[in-house]
Amino acid sequence: MPSTWPYLASGEPEHEGGTPEFLATWQHSGVKRLKDFLHHLKQGRDVSPHTLRAYASDLNQFIEWITARGVRELQSVGHDEVKRYVASLVTGGMARTSVARKAAAIRAFFRFLVREGELDTDPSALVSLSRVRRKLPRALDSDTIARLLSAPVGTEFVPTRDRAILELLYSGGLRNSEAVGVELADLDLNQCVVRIMGKGRKERLAIVGSHAKRALKDYMDMRRRMVKSGHESWLFLNHRGTHLTSRSLHRVIARYLVTASLPEGTTPHTLRHTFATHLLERGATLREVQEMLGHRHLSSTQIYTHVSPEHLRRVYESAHPRARSRSK
């Protein structure tokens, strides 16, 4: 079963495996509109390649499902088809977060078709899902994050690089993909900042703290001797002197999570959660953390408003007019 449409996501008319059999039965205009939608996401909304592949995969699965039930054109898709498809995902045991993501892809596609005048009504408009409860992000306490940051041991290239990576991730609240995308020209150790290109190509400046600055200086001294031709522009390199990929970085960090004996459920993204939580616990405002994380909307940052009970108690006792009288 094909899981993506490479030719749709890339804008090419075909891919080397040929058109999936189920899609070949569709009218040409329907296939074209699917390509137009993915092109709109890529060019108009500037989504990441990962997001584009996810949309293509989710729509691929939906189209294959309704095609198996006799639908051959977009105008024939009704509310019942969308509703039954979503219900089949739920009854099939799929995680509700995944169901919500697939439903969102379908809604976005049909809204696009309505805006473009291809459809008069949106068949997905009346399909409702119970609100997905977002999990609170896991954050590490100061002692635990210190244990992780000291996990790389040694003076060779790899542990020196890994210390620089971990320190920068925690110092600036970077995503893994952002860290591997940093170029030498983006880093300014004199000003202690690094320019980051985030989701949706949203640019921001991240702070390089004193520990991260020292670790990066140590790494830069070794990097000059390691870099291979054609990879000079990238900040982080692998042990062969070529550009470090996001997948490799994920494996590197995952290894140190085990080495440092971090709690079960801790992931590489936990460093970013910890960065945000520690800032809020030490007095940063939600709007300031939003800027430092590079979130487009404040609602994305609001999940970090969970803080420790101890911090809430301190805030309460220092700010609430009745707190002191109660504690006497």
What are 113-129's pLDDT values in tens digits? Answer: 999 888 889 998 877 76
Q: What pLDDT, on the 0 to 100 scale, is given for residue 269?
A: 82
Give the residue carrying structure tokens 């009970």.
309
Q: 9-13, 28-32, 44-48, 242-246: which has the highest mean pLDDT?
A: 242-246
Domains recognised in the chain with CATH numbers: 6-115 (no CATH), 142-266 (1.10.443.10)
Residue 9 clears pLDDT 50, i.e. is over it = no
Q: What is the pTM for the complete model shown?
A: 0.64
First to last CA, the chain: 69
SS3 content of the chain, % helix, strand, coil (to 5): 60, 5, 35
Enumerate the active-site residues: 175, 199, 269, 272, 295, 304
Q: What pLDDT, on the 0 to 100 scale, is given for residue 30?
A: 65
Query: pLDDT tens digit string along 119-174?
Result: 889 998 877 765 555 566 678 889 999 999 999 999 999 999 999 999 999 999 99
Report percent pLDDT > 70 for the chain.
Answer: 80
Q: What pLDDT, on the 0 to 100 scale, is given for residue 2?
A: 38
Instruction: Extract the runs of DSSP E, i.e. beta strands, from the chain.
Output: 187-188, 193-197, 203-207
Q: Which whole-number Å values give the CA distances from 286 to 111, 128, 269, 291, 298, in the listed order? A: 32, 30, 19, 9, 8
Query: pLDDT tens digit string along 22-80?
Result: 455 555 556 778 888 988 888 777 677 778 888 988 998 898 898 888 887 888 888 89
Residue 310 clears pLDDT 70, i.e. is over it = no
